Amino acid sequence: MATAEMERIVLVRHIDGAPSPDDFRVERLPIPELAEGQFLARNHYVSCDPGTRSRLSPGASYAPPLAPGAPVDGFCVGEVIASRNERFAVGERLAMSGWASHVVSNGRGYCVKLPDLGVPESLFIGVLGIPGMTSWFGLKRVAALQAGERVLVTSAAGPVGATAGQLARLWGASEVIGIAGGADKCAWVKDVAGFTACLDYKAPDFEAQFAALAAPGFDVMFDNVGNAMIDRALPHMKLRGRIVVSGQVADYNTPVDQVPGLKHTREFIAKRLRMEGLVVFDDLPGFAAAQAELAALIRAGQLVYREEVFEGLASLPEAFCGLFTGASFGRRVVRV
């Protein structure tokens, strides 16, 4: 029998600025023999996450940078097809990590069995995966959202923002204002995801629109974009407002000294503001319960999501790079 092969995406070079598809290549390699305690999973979907960017250049982040030539990590869902580990039987479906067609693992690291929640499998790297968990715990634990509060969500058409805004509404926010790029995204955020309003940051009169909608103030800002958006919102935060630093997609590609600086920091004292960052893996023990509640909301039609499905692992670099150009609209996943 010929040795089976797998594909994975490797980093060609450390990235300076915006990532480009040719910063990555597809590598083919034989699937290694399983050692005792290992299993082999065949991936069904692999995800595109802005947070992956932080590991593609040197510099400290919450995970060490990858070396050129190293396989790239990203979230995936798949199914065990061979196993020498009694905890992971053939047929078990898992959420794991790896931009690859297959994963060989001993079950350590991020490796979570998928419960049957009556929703599509791809959601476990979307609304029920890291993006949805970030929305859930960012709003519940970090912002500690209270009923009646007014919420601002940036990147509102993205998987984190769209879920955060809908959860804010379901959890009793008085109003949820979104910001997204382009009329199509804004229409979806307002009409489909049910935000109170959504502002197009590309519109010529965006600043005036923002000033009008910001006037009543915000109790919570759930930010996925970065410093420029936070600095714009700071003067409009209400007393004891909370800013959730969930993502910084506009700043990931920029050297630190060129990132727009937060200047309206005197608001922190005046309004007793709190700004806090999160990495949702800290909340791993709570994932299962949150996923069950989210799945119930989805099945009941109370929570919507939008997916863009790309075909084949080779399409992953291009799909990923589109996260930073505003091209993506909803959750980008690749069917392997």
Indicate whether 141 belongs to the interface with a second copy (CB under 8 A): no
Indicate whether 238 belongs to the interface with a second copy (CB under 8 A): no
Indicate whether 323 belongs to the interface with a second copy (CB under 8 A): no
Stretch that binds a second copy, among 5-13, 154-162, 181-189, 255-263 (CB under 8 A): 255-263
Do the strands 150-154 and 175-180 form a parallel or antiparallel pair, or are they unpaired?
parallel
Q: Which is nearer to a second copy, 20 or 265 (CB)?
A: 265
H/E element holding 199?
strand 197-200
- Residue among 36, 86, 116, 257 that touches a second copy (CB under 8 A): 257
- CA–CA separation, 247 vs 224, rounded Å? 4
Report, in Å, the least distance between residue 80 CB and a second copy.
Answer: 32
Stretch that binds a second copy, among 67-75, 247-255, 285-293, 322-330 (CB under 8 A): 247-255
Compute CA distances 240 → 153, 269, 272, whole Å.
Answer: 17, 10, 5
Q: Which is nearer to a second copy, 21 or 260 (CB)?
A: 260
Name all contacts of 285-293 with Cβ < 8 Å and 24+ positions apart. 286/137, 287/112, 287/133, 288/115, 290/132, 290/133, 290/136, 290/137, 291/115, 291/117, 291/124, 291/128, 291/132, 291/133, 292/115, 292/117
- Residue among 49, 149, 219, 251 that touches a second copy (CB under 8 A): 251
Indicate whether 231 belongs to the interface with a second copy (CB under 8 A): yes
Indicate whether 197 belongs to the interface with a second copy (CB under 8 A): no
Residues in 47-86 at the binding interface with a second copy, rule: CB under 8 A? 54, 60-62
- Residue among 2, 147, 215, 256 that touches a second copy (CB under 8 A): 256
Indicate whether 14 belongs to the interface with a second copy (CB under 8 A): no
- CA–CA separation, 46 vs 274, rounded Å? 35
Q: How many residues bind a second copy (CB under 8 A)?
A: 39
Report, in Å, the least distance between residue 231 CB and a second copy.
Answer: 8
Q: Which is nearer to a second copy, 235 or 326 (CB)?
A: 235
Neighbour tally for 335: CB within 10 Å:
14
Report helix, strand or coil for 10: strand
Indicate whether 170 belongs to the interface with a second copy (CB under 8 A): no
R_g over Cα of the chain: 20
Indicate whether 273 belongs to the interface with a second copy (CB under 8 A): yes
- CA–CA separation, 120 vs 118, rounded Å? 7
